Each structure stands twice: as structure tokens, then as C-alpha cells.
Amino acid sequence: MVQLDYPVWLRIEHWVNVLFVTLLIRSGIEILGTHPKLYWRDDSRPGTEWARFTRKTMPTDKLYDTLDEEESYSSIVSLPGHKHLGMGRHWHFVTVMGWILTGIVYYILLFATGQWHRYIPYSWSIFSDAWNDVLTYLSFKLPALLPGQPLDAVQKLAYAFVIFILAPFQILTGAAQSPAVEAHFPWYVRLWGGRQGARSLHFFGLLAFIGFIAVHLMMVGLWGWPQLNALMIFGGVRDLGWALAASLVIIAAIVLVHVAATVWSLKSPRMVQRALGFVISQGRLFFLRPMASRQNYSPSQLSPEHRVNGKPPDSDDYKVMAVHNFVSWKLEVGGLVENPMTFTLADLRALGEKQTQRVLHNCVQGWSSIGEWSGVPFRNVVEMVKPLPQARHICFLTMQDTGRDEPAAEGEGQFYEVIDMSLARHPQCLLAYEMNGRPLPIKHGAPLRLRIENQVGFKMAKWIERIEFISDYKGIGDGMGGWREDNVYYDKDVEV
Amino acid sequence: MSAVLRWTGSGKLISFYRYFSFNVPRVTTASGIVLLLGVGAIRLYWLTGGFLVSNFPVYLTACVVLLVIAALLASAAMVVGRRPGLVRIGWALGSVVSAASIAMYVVSRILGLPGLPQLVQRWDYALGTFSMALAAMYLMLHFSVLTGMNVAYPERRQWHD
């Protein structure tokens, strides 16, 4: 049997893993803080949550939206802290990419070198041995190690659980929260009890990791911090003083990376958005972009109350239009097209048979609802206006002025969002003028909103007044591809 | 006092628990009952000869019997109580049982109990450690109910927002 020692690759992987897991935990807490409530049901109905991590109580006598529910956590527990969801997402996703790659390399090397013997049990007797070890620990003694192995039986089982069950579980429940995955494989999200079930289970996974880390550190302390760190740093025990010092230096370095990531994110969020966003986008576009939505929930699954984000336009023009059922509203479609067009609501309704889809809505904050949307498939409009070859993106301009309509929001100006041309051709990309069989409610974007079911909710512009086909979005706003991208540093491509 | 709490930052630390609230009353009550019955069952096992020593002094037998009965009564009050007052008494009685169990165990290991001097320094008793862990977890759970982090059956959260 191979000698179960501490080869260089195992030592490097261990410390890289420490860095990634701690970054994942802190950035995950940042993401949780933006909607600090956990549910089991996909409608995320207020009051049905099973857990809250906030001191806020929302008013019952005035309108609020889910942005008002955001919690600002300290940078000590979250990355970067202080209500920066955009930054938290960038760190979480870039870290998870690194973590998965690290894990794949770890698995390969584990099995290629025979080191898998250290974790994978191959005798039922390990369970009785583990039980005896538990009794020994409860007697405040240290059990014997397994013969020829670096771990005792209960440790071996614990590591096997974390490496082969808990880590994949976190990746799978994380993937179940991706709108693209949910839209393309609706059965997959049902496997976890729905979107909110996956989110709650992902949270339990987080707790399990925190628990494992706490016990792991305690065990290292009990068995001998310098000795075990000597093995995990130098591969053997020679000078315990050096091992202790080296372990403290490595921990300090990891803390330093956390501090640097936090300060960088708080001081230069645009730079973080560009740098990390570039890496994440490559993965998103390659793996998730091809996943078109093919959802069709049953009418009985529709949420009784569909949650909402963003406040409606508070202008006289909009109110006058709303009072008159938007008969005077017009949608201009232009830019880099052969055939610029203007549509009234009646024109849109007359554009062939309306398409209806019952789908899961994923807010970037973490809540979800299921709604039925009806309207014009966007690809029909695209075919009518005939985009020029240089048109690569589509900009949706809305009637919402965030400075006026959402004074608490960070940033101001006309709300807009940009999508890539490829998304416009997805079969469930819809210009919706109805919701749940009725005219689109004002709070959900009347008279017209966009539905792109494999994206996070904020891309689905509400209160649309103009659609522009463009070759580049760098000259619009701050050039990041949307109002939220410009002002709160979200990513432009949000398949997850 | 409030200035000291603010200045030292300990006020924030103490009030940290307010960030956590759960609406799982049945799970909370079930957990409390399991923990308490666990403590009681271990005492019962000791009474029936499963302890380190066979010659249990009479006073200790009486104490243990009382603890077991109290644990059963507390569990019953927690699970069948329709009146919140009775449920609260059940939880409080459970805390008394848990605290008394821990106190007796620790005193027996540090100072010794009359008639059982051989237990001093005998920390190497797995079932005893396990029993203390169960009792400590019950106390923490009850603390979470008292502070409002958890609610216990039959109460429910009245979250309207």
C-alpha cells in the first residue's frame, strides 16, 4: 500500500483550500445578507420564512420592496461587508471557480497517487472503530490512529464526508440556484425541493463547513498544533519552532488576502468588477449561456403574491398614461436596425398569438416567485425591425428615473439594461404585457417588461419605453452594461 | 452602563443574537424534549446499574429519581401544554434539571460527593461527558427561546412583513 504521507501537492492544496473556503464563506454571508431570510417555498411569501438574519422589521402600513430588506453586515463576517452584493457575488463566483478547479485537481491526484486510502474506508469495521473513537474523545483522551494511516477512524470518516459529500453538495445546491440551470433543467431544482429549498440546504452546508472547520482546528490543537502543521507545511516533523512560526505566517498571509480583498472591494469596486467579472464571464458564457429556458410550471404552482423589486416611475406623464390604461404609451424600437418601428400596446397585442409562460423568477437578492407572463416573443420583434450586422447588443430604456423613484438607491438616472443579441432569440425571451392572465400590474412593470428566464431578475427591465439595437454599450451610462452594473457593480451576464 | 457597553463595543457583541430568529417551533420543542429525555434516560440507566460504581448512596438515588421525574414532567408540559404559561414552566423545569445534572456531575468530579469519593477526577467517563453535553445544549436552546431567537410550540412567529 502507498505510504500515506504528506506529498507537496497535498500540502499546497490544503492551504489553497483554506483560502478559498474562507473566501467562499465570507462572500456567501454577504450574499445572504442582501435578503437575510430563508424559505422552503418558492413563492418567498413574506412571513413564511423559517429563519431571519436581520434586525429589521418591515412596515405594514406603507409600500416597501425587497431592496429595503437588505442588511448591512460587518466586514469581519462578510466580504466585503456593508451591503455590497455586487462585490460579494464577484468574490463568491470567482472563488468557487478556483475552488472547483482545486477540487478536481485534488480528486485526480488523490486517486492517481493512491492517497485516496487516507480518506475512503474499505472495511465496515471502520464504523465500530469510529464509535470507539467517539467514546475515547468523550473520555477526554486521544484515540489510536488507524494502522499505517495519518488519521483515526472518526477523522477518516469526517474527512471522507467533507471531501466526497459536503463539498459536492455545496456545489450542487449552489448550481440549483442558477437561473440558467433552473430554466433549462426545471427537474433539477425540484430535486432539491425548489429554488428556496436549494438555498436553505446551501445554508445548512455552510453551517456544516463552519462546524467542520471549528472541530478540525480543535483537533489540530489537541493532537499537537506544531507537529501537524510541520507535516502540512514541510511534509515531516523536524523543527517544531519553525513549524509553529510557519503556520502563523501562512495564517497571517491568508488573513492579509482577506483584508486586501475587502479593502480593494470597498475602495475600488469598479476595478474589482472589471477584473473578477472578466474571469467569471468566461465561465458563465461557456457553460451557462447555451442553457435556454424551457420551463412550464403548472397553474397551481403560481405564487399567490409575486414579490417585486424596484419602485414604479413617479412622474406625471407615467401616472396620466396609467390612468388611461396606457393607450397613449408608445414603444420605440430603433438603433442599428433596417426598419425602426413604433408600437402601441394595441399593436403589440395584435402581433400574432400571444405567448404565455409560467416560470420561476430569480431575484439577484435570493428570493423567488413563480408567475405567468404573456406577451410577444421578442424574436418576433427582432425579425420585424431587422437588426444590422453590426448590432451585437440590445439596450432596454425604461421610464424609471432611479434618483427620483428610488431615492434610497445608490446612483441615479434613467434605468436601463443591456442584453446580448443571442439572448433575444431564446424561445422564452418575452416582451410581457400580461401577468397571471391580467394586464401587467404597475409594480411589475406596466405596460411592458422584459422576461429572459435564464437570467437574474434585474436584467428584465420593467416600464420599458424604448429598445435600441447597439454595437457596443461602453458609451452608455458608465459603460458596464446596465444601471445596476454601473451603480451597484453587478455583473452584466447573470446566468447565475 | 450603556456608555461602557458602547465604548467597549461589548454592547454590540451582547446584542448580536438579535440578528438570528427562527420560526421552527415544533423542531425547537422536539429538540428540547429529546435533549431532556436524553439527560433523564442516562440518569435512569445509571440507576439501573449502568454507573461507574454499583453502590449508589440513598440520597443520590433519591436525587436522580427526582431528576428523572422532573425531566418527564417538564417534557410532558412542553409537549402537551396548550397554555403558554404551562409550557414556559415546562421549559424552566427542564433548565433546572439540566443545570442540576451538570452541577452534580461537576461537583462529583471536583469536590466529590458524600459516599462517592472515588469519582473525584474521573472525567474519563464518556457517558457522563455526553450527558453534560446534552444538558448544556438544552440550556442553550432554552436560552434561545427566552431571548426570542427561537419560539417553542405552541407559539408561532407573527411575522407579517
Q: What is the pLDDT of residue B121?
A: 93
Would an 8 Å CB–CB cutoff place A62 in contact with chain B? no
pLDDT at B47 over 90: no
- What band does A59 get if pLDDT is binned at 50, 70 and 90? confident
pLDDT score, position B17:
87
**A344 pLDDT more than 80:** yes
CATH number, domain containing residue A112: 1.20.950.20
Residue B161 — pLDDT band, cuts 50, 70, 90? low
Say if residues A200 and A39 touch (Cβ distance below 8 Å). yes
Residues of chain A contacting residue B24, judged by C-beta atoms under 8 Å apart: 50-51
Candidates A47, A52, A140; nearest CB to B21: A52
pLDDT of residue A1: 63
Kindly report, residue by residue over A16-42, the tens digit of the pLDDT.
999 999 999 999 999 999 999 999 999
Domain co-membership, A144 together with A255? yes
Angle (deg, nearest 10), helices A195-234 and A240-267: 140
Backbone CA torsion sign across A13, A19, A21, A23: negative
Average pLDDT over residues A438-465: 97
Residues A244 and A379 in one domain: no
**Is A272 among the domain residues?**
yes
Q: pLDDT over 90 for what percent of chain A?
A: 92
Assess whether A481 and A376 both reside in one domain. yes
Q: What is the mean pLDDT of residues A334-340?
A: 98
Q: What is the pLDDT of residue B143?
A: 96
Q: Exposure of A98 by Cβ count < 10 A (0-12 exposed, 13-18 middle, 19+ buried)?
A: middle
Q: Which residue has the higher pLDDT, A314 or A406?
A: A314
Question: So what's the pLDDT on residue B159?
Answer: 85
What CATH number does the domain containing A457 carry?
3.90.420.10
Is residue A293 in some structural domain? no
User: Is A110 in the same domain as A219?
Assistant: yes
Domain final residue, candidates A257, A287, A317: A287
pLDDT for the residue numbered B7: 77
Question: What percent of chain B is predicted at pLDDT more than 90?
Answer: 66
Q: How far is B129 from chain A (nearest CA, A)?
A: 6
Please compute the mean of the pLDDT values over residues A179-193 and round it to a whole number: 97
Residue A377: inside a domain: yes
- Beta carbons of A138 and B126 less than 8 Å apart: yes
Across the interface, which of A54, A59, A60 has its CB nearest the CB of B19? Answer: A54
On whether any CB of chain B is under 8 Å from the CB of A77, the answer is: no
- Which of the listed residues A235, A262, A287 is the one where a domain comes to its end? A287
**B contacts of A54 (beta carbons < 8 Å):** 19
Distance CA A303, CA A321 (A): 28
Within this chain, do residues A373 and A273 fall inside the same structural domain, yes or no? no
Q: In what order do the strands lie in the sheet with A51-52?
A: A37-38, A51-52, B21-22
- The rounded distance, in Å, linking the Cα atoms of A124 and A122 is 7
> Same domain, yes or no, for A275 and A360?
no
In the structure, what pLDDT confidence band is assigned to residue B52 with cuts at 50, 70 and 90? low
Q: Let me know whether A381 and A269 are in one domain.
A: no
The pairing of beta strand A330-335 with beta strand A464-470: parallel
| Count of A-B CB contacts under 8 Å | 51
Average pLDDT over residues B16-22: 92
Is the domain of A281 the same as that of A367?
A: no
Q: Cis omega (within 30 of 0) on the bond before B154?
A: yes
More confident residue, B56 or A337: A337
Does residue A188 sit in the same domain as residue A262? Answer: yes
The yes-or-no verdict on residue B4 having pLDDT over 90 is no
Select from A46, A53, A139 the Cβ nearest to the Cβ of B19: A53
Lowest mean pLDDT of A330-334, A349-353, B67-71, B126-130, name the range.
A349-353
Integer Cα distance of A292 and A453 in angstroms = 8
Looking at the domain assignment, is residue A41 inside a domain? no
Answer yes or no: do A228 and A363 share one domain.
no
Residue A2 lies in a domain: no
Residue A438 lies in a domain: yes
Chain segment A270-302, per-residue pLDDT in tens: 999 999 999 999 999 999 999 999 999 999 999
Chain A from 111 to 140: CB within 8 A of any B CB: 134-136, 138-140
- Residue B1 pLDDT > 70: no
Rounded to a whole number, what is the distance in Å from the CA of B132 to chain A's nearest CA? 10
**pLDDT at residue A57 tops 90:** no
Could you give the C-alpha distances from B102 to A138, B66, B75, in angstroms and in order? 15, 15, 18
The closest CB to that of A53, out of B20, B125, B161, belongs to B20
Task: Check: CB of residue A343 under 8 Å from CB of residue A358.
Answer: no
DSSP string over chain B = -HHHHHHHSHHHHHGGGGG-EE--HHHHHHHHHHHHHHHHHHHHHIIIIISS-S---HHHHHHHHHHHHHHHHHHHHHHH--SHHHHHHHHHHHHHHHHHHHHHHHHHHHT-BTTBGGGTT----HHHHHHHHHHHHHHHHHHHHHTTSS--TT-------
- Phi and psi at residue A371, to the nearest 5°: -135, 160
> Domain total for chain A?
2
| A325/chain B closest Cα distance in angstroms | 30
Looking at residue A50, what is its pLDDT?
A: 97
What residue of A is the nearest CA neighbor of B157? Answer: A47
Distance CA A309, CA A456 (A): 12
Three-state DSSP class for A44?
A: coil
B131 neighbourhood in chain A, CB within 8 Å: none
Q: What confidence tens digit (pLDDT) does each residue in A60-112 have? A: 777 777 888 899 999 999 999 999 999 999 999 999 999 999 999 999 999 99
Q: What's the pLDDT score for residue B8?
A: 76
Q: How near does any CA of chain B get to the CA of A165, in Å?
A: 25
CB A268 within 8 A of CB A283: no
pLDDT value at residue A162:
98
Chain B interface, Cβ < 8 Å to A: 18-24, 123-127, 129-130, 157, 159-161
Question: Looking at the partner chain, which of A60, A64, A138 has a beta carbon nearest the beta carbon of B160?
Answer: A60
Contacts of B23 in chain A (CB under 8 A): 49-52
**Mean pLDDT of the B101-122 span:** 93
Residue A374 is assigned to a structural domain of this protein: yes
Between CA A489 and CA B6 the distance in angstroms is: 34
Q: Among A287, A307, A335, which residue terminates a domain?
A: A287
Do both A265 and A308 map to the same domain? Answer: no
Residue A184 pLDDT grade (very low, low, confident, very high; cuts 50, 70, 90): very high
Structural domain including A94 reads 8-35+70-287
Q: In the structure grid, which three cell numbers stand for residue B42, read together?
A: 442516562
User: pTM, whole model, 2 decimals?
Assistant: 0.94
Q: Is residue A94 part of a domain?
A: yes
d(CA A62, nearest CA chain B) in Å: 11
**pLDDT for A490 beyond 70:** yes
Q: What does the pLDDT read at residue B13?
A: 73
A378: confidence class by pLDDT, cuts 50, 70, 90 = very high
Looking at the fold, whether A315 and A172 belong to one and the same domain comes out as no
